[in-house]
Amino acid sequence: MSQTQVLAQLPSIRLFLPFPLAEHGTAITSPGQAHYLAHVMRRGVGDRLRVFNGIDGEFVATITDLRRDAASLAIGQQTRPQQPDPDLWLLFALLKRAPTELIIQKATELGVGALLPVFTTRTNADRTNTDRLIAIATEAAEQCGRLTVPTLHAPRALSAVLADWPPARRLIACCERAADLPVPRDGTGPTALLIGPEGGFTDAELDALHARPFVLPVTLGPRLLRADTAAIVGLALLQAA
């Protein structure tokens, strides 16, 4: 039986539980997860689901008690061992609420390991709801079947991020019409993708990017893409490699 056939026979509901998991163990969900199980998915005692924590792999679990404030779970057989994610980060200039949330969701689905929002000269947002973005990333990880939730970093100025950048990690910067090279297809080594704001990078920012030896300026094609579209396209091209 193929892995796809095995997964198709497992419970469809998946929950991220941020604590150690092991066969024959027990776990307690959060109140929100208990509400989700009881009132959204209409599950009860005896029903099964899958759980993961980003460290120990994925397990089948059975609901043994379900209250308003928590659900008690009995951890059963491991369904998948932990597997490494692609070593891929996403840097993106903060956008308005809806496109930022879309980037978080789709980047999670596309396997990004770390999300680094940045402030640029033309960034059109000055704050974000970190808790909400973490919740969106967690829900996306639960739904898409990945075994981890990406790390969400606090927003920082692009200049500060570049100053602290690990030089061994290649930074592929989508520079709109200021670059001629396409996204590389070699797919090797630690990599990050940088997406600018809706108004694009300033000349000073482009000069700063071109001056860094770890930066590779690229284009996503002849059309000018929205920032959220560019993030999805760029990540998909890198993952295809």
Q: CATH number of the domain that 59 lies in? A: 2.40.240.20
| In contact, 196 and 120? CB cutoff 8 Å | yes
- Domain identity same for 13 and 104: no
Contact between 130 and 153 under an 8 Å Cβ cutoff? The reply is no
Domain boundary pick from 80, 96, 121: 80
pLDDT in tens, 81-110: 999 988 999 999 999 999 999 999 999 999
- 127 and 233 inside one domain: yes
- The reply to whether 27 and 47 lie within a common domain is yes
Identify the domain containing residue 45 by its residue range: 3-80
> Does 1 score more than 60 pLDDT?
no
**pLDDT value, residue 22:** 97
Same domain, 100 and 181: yes
**Which of residues 30, 60, 80 is at a domain's end?**
80
CATH number of residue 234's parent domain: 3.40.1280.10
Residue 73 in tokens: 């779970």
- What is the reported pTM? 0.91
Which residue, 46, 80, 114, sits at the end of a domain?
80
Query: Model confidence over 166-213: pLDDT tens digits?
Result: 999 999 999 877 677 778 877 678 999 999 998 899 999 999 999 999
- Indicate the number of domains in the chain: 2
Average pLDDT, the chain: 92
